[in-house]
Amino acid sequence: MVVLGREGLDRLVEVLMERGYRVIGPTVRDEAIVLDELTSASQLPFGWGVEVGPGQYRLWRRADGAAFKNSAGPQSWKQFLHPAREKLWSADRDGSGFTVTATDSEPPRYAFLGVRGCDLAAIRVLDRVLDRGEHPDSRYHRRREGIFIVGVNCTDPGETCFCVSMGTGPAVSPQPPPPCGGQGVGPTPHQPGYDLVLTESVDQRGHHFLTEAGSERGAEVLAELPTRPAGPGEVEAAETAVARAATAMGRRMPAADLPAVLAATRESERWSEIASRCLTCANCTMVCPTCFCTTTEDVTDLTGDHAERWQHWASCFELDYSYIHGGEVRTSGASRYRQWLTHKLGTWHDQFGGSGCVGCGRCIAWCPVGIDLTAEVDALVTEAGEEPR
């Protein structure tokens, strides 16, 4: 393991750009830490922390100048791998018929800088759903296959985080988390994990990043950076900081057989009680790094000579999401919330061999009325009389 100084981070961004990557990382915009293209490490959120809670998110100024000691913002890497809206094809009349043109442009080669353990697990969940099923999504595959990942071990979790209880953090795992943690999603054939992983420290030795390569190309990039060997106690200090983060999670998912709990509480009154608070706004599904549902819409221009098919994110909280030949199936908020939670934590296991939740806490922070899935599951576990595992 080697140590990268603050200037080494600048060089990391430069080297990735020189290698043709479009570098995406956290930056401050609109009073939040968002993910955007970076052309310099100086755009990282140095000196910003995040105060987060149910229905709350606020930036605060950190005295230590750290860049990665802040929990998940409203966005996730999903928006780059599985965009919120994209054109699939267009069609133009050409006299007797029409010509269809697929939107097949070469995707950018992304380098993701600052991927936490929970978010790497979320990418693995998307890999399983979109890239490793019977009908892989070729667009997702092409975006995903060239990606360079710089992971960051989390040392400062937020009040809404519960990655430990989902087996996905706070350390960035080179291996898939154990199935008992709710995941069980294996590495993709083209990307076993991360290329580099950083642990940020600000101490008497200054502001630095303990760095390790996780792949051959990660090692090649690391060889181009100004580093020094880790000094006495630096590796242990970083491990201690990550271990401390594991005990500082604001929440935990109950350790129970959640698929069984959700099946047993299908008719619970709790769903109506949640629905009395839920606005069915779909925020939780939009911010969730693993919610993958989409729908398509066709549009034509006013002449009728040109048509386009677009794909955009959809949500099981939308009324027409469950529309089938003549009507919606899930007309109540209670049935829609139940669908979301039951799929995420229950039937996702049957469908994809693991949980659909990685414990990032976004859905708690960005729910306008502060509905907390860990609290709702706690109540359902109690109602089901399930013994904690």
- In the set 102, 319, 329, 369, which binds ligand SF4 (CB under 6 A)? 369
Does 193 participate in binding ligand SF4 (rule CB under 6 A)?
A: no
One-letter identity of residue 382: T
Shortest Cβ 102–ligand SF4 spacing (Å): 31
Instruction: Give the Cα separation of 326 and 81 in Å (integer).
Output: 34
Does 290 participate in binding ligand SF4 (rule CB under 6 A)?
A: yes
Does 289 participate in binding ligand SF4 (rule CB under 6 A)?
A: yes
Q: What 3 state SS string does 26-57 have?
A: EEEECCEEEEEECCCHHHCCCCEEEEEECCEE
Q: Lay out the site mask for ligand SF4 across 238-277 (x = CB under 6 A, - = otherwise).
A: ----------------------------------------
Shortest Cβ 264–ligand SF4 spacing (Å): 20
Does 168 participate in binding ligand SF4 (rule CB under 6 A)?
A: no
Instruction: Give the Cα separation of 358 and 119 in Å (integer).
Output: 8
Does 169 participate in binding ligand SF4 (rule CB under 6 A)?
A: no
- Residues touching ligand SF4: how many (CB under 6 A)? 25
Q: How many CA atoms lie within 13 A of 377 on its CB side?
A: 26
Does 120 participate in binding ligand SF4 (rule CB under 6 A)?
A: no
- In the set 67, 171, 371, 377, which binds ligand SF4 (CB under 6 A)? 371
- In the set 117, 170, 177, 361, which binds ligand SF4 (CB under 6 A)? 361
Contacts of 4 (CB under 8 A, 6+ apart): 12, 198, 208, 209, 210, 211, 225, 226, 227
Structural contact between residues 70 and 49, judged by C-beta atoms closer than 8 angstroms: yes
Does 359 participate in binding ligand SF4 (rule CB under 6 A)?
A: yes
Does 280 participate in binding ligand SF4 (rule CB under 6 A)?
A: yes
> What is the H or E stretch that residue 199 is in?
strand 196-203
Segment interacting with ligand SF4, rule: CB under 6 A, options 28-36, 87-95, 186-194, 359-367? 359-367
Torsion angles phi and psi, residue 347, rounded to 5: -75, -15
Structural contact between residues 162 and 249, judged by C-beta atoms closer than 8 angstroms: yes
- In the set 358, 380, 381, 384, which binds ligand SF4 (CB under 6 A)? 358
Residue-wise burial string across 302-311, b where 16 or more C-beta atoms lie within 10 A, e elsewhere: eeeeebbbbb
Interface residues toward ligand SF4, by CB under 6 A: 278-284, 287-290, 317, 344, 357-363, 367-369, 371, 373
